[in-house]
C-alpha cells in the first residue's frame, strides 16, 4: 500500500502492507480480488483493517504489484473506514 517513493527509497526502512487471505466476507474493510488481479492462484480477500508496517528487511523478494488507480482508491477508502467510524460506505 505504500507509495512507490517509499517502497523504492533507501532511506525508508519499512513499507505499509495490507494482507490478503484465502477466505473472507465482503464488508466495509474487506475486498475480494479475483485470481488475475491479485497474482495469486485463487480468489483472495484483502483485509484493510489489518494494515501494518513491515520492515523491508523482512521481505524475501521485492515484487511489484500493479493495482489500478480505481482499485487503489477503493483500498484507501477501506483503510479509512477501518479507522474512521464516520467514513462513508455504500451498503450493498
Spans of all domains in the chain: 4-83
Which pLDDT score, from 0 to 100, does residue 40 have? 79
42-90 per-position pLDDT tens digit: 899 999 999 999 999 998 877 666 778 888 899 999 999 999 988 887 7
DSSP 27: B
Residue 68 vs residues 19, 51, 55, 87, 91: alpha-carbon distances, Å: 18, 19, 25, 22, 23
Kindly report the pTM of this predicted structure.
0.79
Burial class (CB within 10 angstroms; exposed 0-12, middle 13-18, buried 19+) of 78: buried
Which pLDDT score, from 0 to 100, does residue 77 have? 92
Question: What is the fold of 4-83?
Answer: SH3 type barrels. (2.30.30)
Amino acid at each position: 500500500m505504500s507509495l512507490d517513493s517509499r517502497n523504492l527509497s533507501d532511506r525508508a526502512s519499512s513499507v505499509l502492507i495490507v494482507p490478503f487471505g484465502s477466505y473472507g466476507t465482503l464488508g466495509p474493510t474487506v475486498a475480494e480480488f479475483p485470481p488475475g488481479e491479485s497474482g495469486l492462484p485463487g480468489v483472495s480477500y484483502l483485509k484493510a483493517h489489518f494494515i501494518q508496517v513491515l520492515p523491508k528487511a523482512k521481505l524475501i523478494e521485492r515484487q511489484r504489484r500493479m493495482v489500478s488507480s480505481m482499485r487503489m482508491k477503493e483500498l484507501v477508502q477501506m483503510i479509512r473506514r477501518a479507522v474512521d467510524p464516520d467514513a462513508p460506505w455504500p451498503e450493498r
